[in-house]
Structure 1
C-alpha cells in the first residue's frame, strides 16, 4: 500500500505515474497534483475528501524552529486518514511532532473557484487538532458549495516556548505555532485552486483558541494577504505575552527540568513526554493553572499586540464576524455543588481569580449583579458574571476597536441552549461549533432538536455568505447591521433569531470599569 511517509521524496513517476496510480485506485477516488506532489482522496457521497495532506516537513528535527515546506514527492500519496496531532497534555489520539497536516472537503476538483473556509481548531494554544468529528466539513461544504479546510499545527511548548532571550538560536520559538498556520495558509494560496477553491476568497474561522490564533494572525505581518474574511467564535486575543513574562515561564520550566539557563539547547533533543510533564507546574505569572504558552510579542514574527492599543491596520479591510455564547463559562465551571444548592454566602468563594480573571472584589460583583438582576439565583450570577468578565470582555474590546476604526464588523451572541452531559443547560462555550458546521448528529455536539437545526442553518448560511461575498447578508429575513458604538447591533441566534441593540449592556458597562489584560499575557 502506498502510504504518506513511504511516498515522500520518491521521484520519477511524473504524470504517467499519476495516471497509473489513478487506475489502481478505486474508480471514484479523486487525485490532485499539489505543488509538493500528487494526493489521492476519497468520496463521501458527492463530496470529495482528502485527509492528512502534508503541508510541512516533520518538525521534530527542527524543534522550536520555523517550519519548512515538505520535500516534494511524485508517487501519489493516499490522503485517507487524519494526520497526527501535536504532542500535548490531553487524551488526543495519535500525537507526534510530525504534525503539519491538513484536510480538505470539496464538492469537486474542478475549476469552479469556490469560496474557501479554513477552520483553526480551539483548545487554547495547548491542545486539540483539526480532526475532531465536530469539525467534519462534509455538511458545510455541501450546503454552501464551498471548500472546507481543517489543519493541525504546533501547540503549547512546541509552538510557543519563548527561548529567544536565553538562546538566540531559537529566535522564532515563541511564535512557531503561528508560523505553522501561516505555512498552512500559504499552502491554501498555492494549491486550493486544484481542489476547486478560489485562493482570492479565503475565510478563516475558529472557535475559542482558534479565534484567538486568528486575532493574532490579523496583526502578524507575514500573514498579510493570506485570508480575506474572518470569523471568531468565543475566541479573542487582545494582548499577547510580553517577552519578560514569557522568559519567566521558560526559566520556571527549565528549573523543573533540572536545566540551567545555559543548557537551553538540550531542550531540542529532550524526550517530548518529559517536556510536557514539566510544563504542568503552576504558572509563575498567573499563580494558577499550568504553564501558559501562547503568542509572544517578539519583535520578529509578532511586532505588536493583536488588539492593543487599537485594531491592527493590517487587517482593516478584512470583514470580520465576532461571536460569543451567553453562558460561556457553564462549560468550564462544573457544579461542584448542585446549582440549586449554591448560596449567596458560598458564591464569593466560587469567584476565585482563576475563575473571574478580573482583579475585582467578588462581593462588589455580586452586589452589582443582584442590583441589576434581582431575580437571578446565585448560580446564574456565577455563570453570567464570569462569562462577562472572563470570556466576553475581549470580544467587546475587539468589536469596539474595529468599530472605532471603521473596520467592517458584525457581532453575534448565541442564546440557544444546549444540554451538557451533567444535565445543565445554557448557551455554553463550544455550543456554536456544531451549529456552524452542521454536525448536530455528531456525538459530543449536545445541540439537538428542530430549533438547533434551524439555528444551525442560519449560522452556517451567514458564515458561508461572509466567505462568498464579504458580508453575512440577511439572517432569517433580517438585515444584520454592521457593529457600531451608537447602537451596538448584535444578531441573537436563538429560537427567534433577531437583532438586539447592546444586549447585556448593563453587564458590559459594569466590567468596563476594570482594566482588562488577556489572561496569560
Structure 2
C-alpha cells in the first residue's frame, strides 16, 4: 500500500542546511540537492570541494541544470536524445526519491548515468528513481557529475603544475562521484536510508564509473553491492602520457594553449570543441570516445575492469550483464558500417587477432549467425571485444576467486528500424527501471508487444530490487538464478521467455580464448 507522506515529511535538516522537497505520487522527492561546491571559475578542472551550505530553507522541488554537453534538436534515431537543457557548470547536484522521511533505514540505490562520457543526466525522466523507490521500498539517488571536457580532459605536464596544492591528477568525474557517495553515506539516513547498505548501479560509461568508484581507496567500505549494466570494459584506457595527444588535440581545436587559457572561455565554447575531437579521434569499426578515463596512478590506479578483483572491492557483491547486440546501437544505422564488405571486416578483425587468424575468426562468427552479412560479423565482433568478453572475464575471475557474481544477457530485440537494432546497447534500461511511460520518446522501444514488454520488465525490475535489498537477484516470479561459477557459468537470459542457461557466451568465449592463445603463442 502506498505511503501517504504527512506535510512535515517534505522537510529535512542536514548539516548544510534545511531542504524542502515535494510529494510526488506518494513519494517524497528532493531535487537539485548540492553535494559539492559549483566547479566554476578557478574551480573548473579542480576536484570537487565541499558545498558551503545555505541559510534558511532551500527549495528542492525542481530539477537543476544538467552537466554541459552536446545537444541536438530533434534527438537521435535510437534513444531520441540523452540530455535536455538547461545545462550549466553549476551541476554537482543529486535527486533523492524516498517512500518516507523517517528512520526506517531502507536499502539505498545510487544511479550513475552513462553516455559515452559526454552525455546524460541523473535527472532525466527516464532515470527517475520513483519505480525503484515505490516497488522496492528503497531510497534512490540519481547524480549529476562533470562529463566531456569539464570532467575528463586530462592536464598536460605544464598544466599539472597548477595541481601542486594536492589536487594531483585529473579524472574529475570520479572525484565528483566520490563526493556524491560520501554525501549519501553521511546524509541518507535523514531521508530514510541505510548508509551501511548502499548499492551503486550504472550503465555503459556509468558502469565503468561504478567499477572505478568501487575500486577507489576513498570509497572503501562505502559500497556494499554494484550493478554493472553493459560496461564497455574493453576500452583501452590511457596513461597520463598516452592521454597527452588527445589533450593537445582538444586544446588546438578550442584555440587554447593551456587549461589556464581554457578557463577564460565560456562552457558553450568548450562543448562546441567536442565535435572536432570526435572527428579527430574516431576510427572505423571502433566505438567513438573522444574522452576517456585516465589511469593516472593518483585517482585511478588500475583499469576499472580489474577494480573488483582487488582489495576491499573484491568482497563487493556484483551483478553484471550485457545485451546480445550491443554494437548495433552505434553502427547498425550507419551506412558506412552497415554496408561493410567481407574484406573490410576481415581487415578490422586482423587488427585484434592478427592477419593470419582473421579469416578463421570471420568464418567462426559467420557460422554462429546463419545468414550473417559482413556487417553482422562486425557488430558481433565489436560487441564481444568491447562488452561481452570483458564482462565474462570479470565474472570468470571473480568466480575463480570464490567471489559473488551474477551474470545476465539481455536478448529481447527492438522491432524499430525493421529490426536492425536487435537487442542493442541501452535497450535493457527501460526494462530494469520498468518505466516505459518515461521512454515514450525513445524510438528503440516503439513497436514492442505490450504483454511481452511488461512481463519482462516486471521480471528484470524485481530482480534488480531483490539484488539491492539482499545481494541475491532471485524472486518468485522468475526461474532460479544461480551465481556465475567456473563449472556452470550460469547466465540469465532476459528475453520473451526468461531462462537461466549455462555458458550462454560460450561460443564467443572459446573463440576469443583460442584465437588469442594462437596470437600469443
State the TM-score, normalized to the length of structure 1.
0.85
Larger relative helix fraction: 2
Distance 1:448 1:147, change over 3 A: farther
Contact kept in structure 2, 1:458 and 1:475, CA below 8 Å? no
What is the rounded CA distance, in whole Å, between the counterparts of 1:209 and 1:310 in structure 2?
16
The residue number in structure 1 matching 2:77 is none
Describe how 1:245-284 pairs up with structure 2 within 5 A: 245-260=242-257, 263-279=258-274, 280-281=276-277
- Cα deviation, 1:354-388, whole Å, max 9, x if unaligned, reads x9984655654432223344454555434333322
- Cα deviation, 1:38-82, whole Å, max 9, x if unaligned, reads 111111221111111111111012011010121111311111121
The residue number in structure 2 matching 1:6 is none
- Residue 389, structure 1, aligned to residue 385, structure 2: yes
Contact kept in structure 1, 2:154 and 2:247, CA below 8 Å? yes
The residue number in structure 2 matching 1:305 is 303
The residue number in structure 1 matching 2:64 is 83
Distance 1:95 1:494, change over 3 A: same
Helix, strand or coil: the match of 1:335?
coil
Helix, strand or coil: the match of 1:328?
coil
What is the rounded CA distance, in whole Å, between the counterparts of 2:351 and 2:224 in structure 1?
33
The residue number in structure 2 matching 1:16 is none
- Residue 493, structure 1, aligned to residue 494, structure 2: yes
- Report deviation, 1:403: 2.0
- Cα deviation, 1:446-490, whole Å, max 9, x if unaligned, reads 155112212212211221122111222346453311112222110
2:91 maps to which of 86, 99, 110: 99
Helix, strand or coil: the match of 2:305?
coil
What is the rounded CA distance, in whole Å, between the counterparts of 2:435 and 2:363 in structure 1?
41
Structure 1: where are the runs of 5+ without partners? 1-25, 517-521
Helix, strand or coil: the match of 2:466?
helix
Q: Could you tell which deviates more after superposition, 184-193 or 245-254?
A: 245-254
Contact kept in structure 1, 2:408 and 2:491, CA below 8 Å? yes
What is the rounded CA distance, in whole Å, between the counterparts of 2:133 and 2:308 in structure 1?
35
Helix, strand or coil: the match of 1:512?
helix
- Residue 330, structure 1, aligned to residue 328, structure 2: yes
- Residue 233, structure 1, aligned to residue 214, structure 2: no
What is the rounded CA distance, in whole Å, between the counterparts of 1:310 and 1:118 in structure 2?
18
What is the rounded CA distance, in whole Å, between the counterparts of 1:109 and 1:491 in structure 2?
36
What is the rounded CA distance, in whole Å, between the counterparts of 2:288 and 2:323 in structure 1?
26
The residue number in structure 1 matching 2:430 is 434
Q: Could you tell which deviates more after superposition, 451-460 or 232-241?
A: 232-241
What is the rounded CA distance, in whole Å, between the counterparts of 1:356 and 1:278 in structure 2?
33
- Residue 169, structure 1, aligned to residue 170, structure 2: no
The residue number in structure 1 matching 2:14 is 34
The residue number in structure 2 matching 1:472 is 473
Distance 1:172 1:96, change over 3 A: farther
State the TM-score, normalized to the length of structure 2.
0.85
The residue number in structure 2 matching 1:456 is 457
- Report deviation, 1:294: 2.3
Helix, strand or coil: the match of 1:214?
helix
Structure 2: where are the runs of 5+ without partners? 1-5, 73-82
- Cα deviation, 1:78-129, whole Å, max 9, x if unaligned, reads 1112121111223431111100011111110111111111110010211111
Helix, strand or coil: the match of 1:213?
helix
Contact kept in structure 2, 1:412 and 1:493, CA below 8 Å? yes
What is the rounded CA distance, in whole Å, between the counterparts of 2:61 and 2:326 in structure 1?
35
- Cα deviation, 1:180-227, whole Å, max 9, x if unaligned, reads 001101111111111111111110111111111111112221122221
The residue number in structure 1 matching 2:78 is none
What is the rounded CA distance, in whole Å, between the counterparts of 2:91 and 2:303 in structure 1?
27
- Residue 46, structure 1, aligned to residue 26, structure 2: yes
Q: Could you tell which deviates more after superposition, 272-281 or 202-211?
A: 272-281
What is the rounded CA distance, in whole Å, between the counterparts of 1:359 and 1:409 in structure 2?
29
Helix, strand or coil: the match of 2:158?
coil
Distance 1:201 1:164, change over 3 A: farther
The residue number in structure 1 matching 2:39 is 59
- Report deviation, 1:248: 1.9
What is the rounded CA distance, in whole Å, between the counterparts of 1:114 and 1:465 in structure 2?
13
Helix, strand or coil: the match of 1:396?
helix
- Report deviation, 1:351: 7.2
The residue number in structure 2 matching 1:137 is 129
Q: Could you tell which deviates more after superposition, 419-428 or 313-322?
A: 419-428
The count of corresponding residues between Structure 1 and Structure 2 is: 485
- Report deviation, 1:421: 5.3
What is the rounded CA distance, in whole Å, between the counterparts of 1:66 and 1:249 in structure 2?
21
- RMSD value, Cα: 2.9
